[in-house]
Amino acid sequence: MSLSIGGLAKQAGVAIDTVRYYERNGLLAPAGRLASGYRRYGAEELKRLRFIRRAKVLGFTLDDIRSLLALSAERDVARVRAAAQRKLGDIELRITELERIHSGLRTLIDACPGHGRSDACPILNALSQEQDA
């Protein structure tokens, strides 16, 4: 398999600029180049690009992905699992925080009549308070 950058991007479901971005960040490299200088990619690069894309969807940062790729090369499944567990913990904390924000915002919206003077608006008053709620 020999793909151009456009072909690789299309098969992986990403934009060409995304491929270039991952190359600049050291996550992906072309398998080779033609005499004209055009990049060529193979099945391994496609597999790696799909891995990066899926990891991003799961919330992994580029640094996380770089670590996962290194662990994958080492075949260190225990450390991959530990990294995934850490990411899950981070996500669970973010969900808890978002649920708290959701509840607070829902309370403010329910308390606001949607008309009247702005100085009587519970949403504006809550946002203007000096202390964090």
Residues of the chain with pLDDT under 50: none
Dist. CA 127–CA 133, nearest whole Å: 9
User: Containing domain of residue 31, as a range?
Assistant: 1-56
Integer angstrom CA distances of residue 60 from 70, 115, 119: 14, 43, 43
Would the pTM count as exceeding 0.75?
no
Place of tokens 């996500």: 91
Q: What are phi and psi of 116, to 5 degrees?
A: 105, -165
Q: Does residue 68 sit within a domain?
A: no
Q: Does residue 50 sit within a domain?
A: yes
Q: Does residue 110 sit within a domain?
A: yes
Q: Does residue 65 sit within a domain?
A: no
pLDDT of residue 3: 92
Q: What is the pLDDT of residues 95-109, one digit of tens each?
A: 999 999 999 999 999
For 50, how many CA atoms within 13 A lie in the half-sphere containing its CB? Answer: 10
